[in-house]
Structure 1
Amino acid sequence: MDYYRKQRNYGCRIHDQYTYMGMKTLVLENEKIRLSILLDKGLEIFEFLLKSRDLDFMWLTENGVDNPNRYLPTSPDSQSTYIDYYIGGWQEIFPNGGVSSAYLGAQFGQHGEVAHMPWSYMIEIDTPEMVAVRFTVKTKKVPFKLSKTITIYANAAKIDIKEEIENLSEVPLRYMWGQHLAFGKPFLEPGCTIRMPENITIIADELDVADNDQSARVKRGITHEWPWVEETSGNMTDISVLPPKGKPSEIVYMKGFKDKGWYQVDNARLNAAICVEWDADTMPYLWYWQEFGNTTGYPWFGRHYNIGLEPFSSYPTHGLSEAVRNGTAGYIQGREKRMFSMSTTLMEL
């Protein structure tokens, strides 16, 4: 932290002198939005606030934000360790997506490993018209460096993100890379709608089962065309419209995005929406996680109504070894770099 950096209470501004729950926290804001980020825990975005509505688009679990240093995991499995620390919000996922997986002798935990690591940062631009901050992290199990630059602009309810992964070794490597965005209350509710391009294919992977072995709503082992899916009952359902609480919890995957992927989640009652755009060449899949309060056991106990709409390089949520097997894992040569970009906009309808 630069103690002598000029302070500002107008236009675009950055606050890097804060802590939240004992963790180093960085806040970016302008006239329209406020973005709060946990530097000490995976660069998690736990607040993305539209100031005009006092409306936060990031979902928080009932457990909320907690400092991992205050809690010792008592479960031997990596999935429970991740979930016990999971706050909701928005995490970077790399180089493993989904459950525990092994690759080249390295054993990854759930969504390992940058989602729980501390990141460093450097302020690149700090003016009333624009603020840009570059964040970096190095993985420990495999030799990668990941950089992420977040930019905000005056009088704009938008953030731009540019990222880079670098293979720090001479060895070609595989990876899974994704953006774990989760939406819930106060923004998300039954009746919200999801919009995305036409001709998108929905993959209902037969490896997936709903939480706690509950029956899935979407028929497995086949593909569907957005937004219509065949239910296990044989009925056709439009999954772009969020259902009443109590529908089965599950995950499906979308593909078919051309160049720039995008989706928009609308809440007509609140007259508010969020639009996410991303480089679909780097992340051609979109994971659609649905938790509609039907998981009555661990970890949700029927308390949550939320979704995740997560751009990813690969699928399904069964770890890097499965993505390597099915040919969707990312590939990078020794000393090579790969780029990614995305933007997210909050809107009043």
Structure 2
Amino acid sequence: MRRNWAARLRHLTLDGLRAVTLENERLRVTVVPDKGGDVVEFLHKPTDTDFVWLSPQGLRDPRDHRHGAADDVAQFVDHYEGGWQEAFPNGGAPSEYRGARLAQHGEVAGLPWSCEVVADSEEEVAVRLGVRTRRLPYRVEKVFRLRSGTAALEVEGRATNESDLTLHAMWGQHIVYGLPFLRAGARIRLPEGVRVIPHAGPINPAGRRVRPGGPWRWPVVPADGGGETDLSVVPERGGPSDIVYLTGFTEGWYEISGDIGMRVEWDAALLPYLWMWQELGASTGYPWWGRAYTLGLEPFAGMPTDGLAAAVDNGSALSLGPHETKVLSWRAEVLA
């Protein structure tokens, strides 16, 4: 019998794509297995607050070329509906690794995943998603779990090297916030001791750079040498685009809050970096056209956004031995 109380599941179709909703008394979370296992809804029901940013272009099927034939490396952006993605085995820009050409944030974010129910009771619901990459010999799985009465989504991911060789990967959670939750003046909290690594290259002509070597609360300095802005405060709409990398986590967690908040926890031994990306409307060309007001706080293994080859060169990429499995647990909880 299908429940409409306590923890429950719903299978549905969104714009022609398989989706599943995990719901309880406080949360409704919608996942799209047919598109990377993306989280496209994280709704706190008591306050009607959705934490997920949704792109103006909406949800698009990456297998459908009616929207224009996405090439190898533009697949992510051309079909980016917002939401939260799994980035594996490449992070950031297109890259080439041992002869394999990898797209931006590729491969798994653009692939359909299998989906099976592993728990369905009043106490908890859970689904397991799985996929194999096509250009590298990896198997990736993730279990989404929601327990009755909680405001927390629990996720356990597994990445397995299915070859007899030692391979590298970048692994990240592309968690991006937007309206109605994200507001100017919202505060970001991190553990003590976290420090900033600046991005070496420009984001766009309005981009910013960071004083090298600064601790978390050191300011961002605009490229024109003007005033200073505290990284821990979400800027007003129209501010410049930016990306920095945060590291030095003894515990993997952050909180972002205004009238309501979110706390994300993860295994910082496995993902030692937090990418902080903001697109606030200053980018008036492709792909944003001045329409985005969004902030990403993304736990990652590997940096910078130059892709897997660069992360291998600087020693920040994950290394997986023959048939080795890495297990990543993380959770996102509403603070109300």
TM range (shorter): over 0.9
User: How much does 1:253 deviate?
Assistant: 0.4
Aligned amino acid, residue 12 of structure 1: A
User: CA contact under 8 A between 2:75 and 2:110: conserved in structure 1?
Assistant: no
Q: How does 1:84-123 map to 2 (within 5 A)?
A: 84-123=78-117
1:7 matches 2:2: yes
Q: Match of 1:149?
A: 143
User: How much does 1:155 deviate?
Assistant: 0.8
1:20 matches 2:11: no
User: How much does 1:123 deviate?
Assistant: 1.4
When normalised by structure 2's length, the TM-score is 0.95
Let me know the Cα RMSD of the aligned residues: 1.4
Aligned pair count? 333
SS at match of 1:197: coil
**Deviation digits for residues 49-77 of structure 1 (CA, Å, limit 9, x no counterpart):** 00011110000011121223153534656
* Cα separation, 2, equivalents of 1:298 and 1:142: 29
Change in CA separation of 1:76 and 1:42 when aligned onto 2, cut-off 3 Å: closer
SS at match of 1:225: coil
Q: Match of 1:209?
A: 202
Q: Match of 1:3?
A: none
SS at match of 2:182: coil
Aligned amino acid, residue 338 of structure 1: K
Choose from 244, 257, 261 the match for 2:249. 257
Q: Match of 2:218?
A: 228
1:303 matches 2:303: no
Q: Match of 2:236?
A: 244
Aligned amino acid, residue 55 of structure 2: T
User: CA contact under 8 A between 2:202 and 2:208: conserved in structure 1?
Assistant: no
Structure 2 unaligned regions, length at least 5: none
Q: Match of 2:279?
A: 291
Choose from 159, 183, 189 the match for 1:189. 183
* Cα separation, 2, equivalents of 1:163 and 1:55: 26
* Cα separation, 2, equivalents of 1:223 and 1:295: 27
1:71 matches 2:66: yes
SS at match of 1:344: strand
Structure 1 unaligned regions, length at least 5: 1-5
User: CA contact under 8 A between 1:73 and 1:81: conserved in structure 2?
Assistant: no
User: How much does 1:248 deviate?
Assistant: 1.2
SS at match of 1:325: helix
Q: Match of 2:173?
A: 179
When normalised by structure 1's length, the TM-score is 0.92
Aligned amino acid, residue 214 of structure 2: H
* Cα separation, 2, equivalents of 1:153 and 1:75: 38
User: How much does 1:217 deviate?
Assistant: 2.3
Change in CA separation of 1:76 and 1:140 when aligned onto 2, cut-off 3 Å: closer
Aligned amino acid, residue 28 of structure 2: R
Identical pairs, percent: 41
* Cα separation, 1, equivalents of 2:202 and 2:20: 37
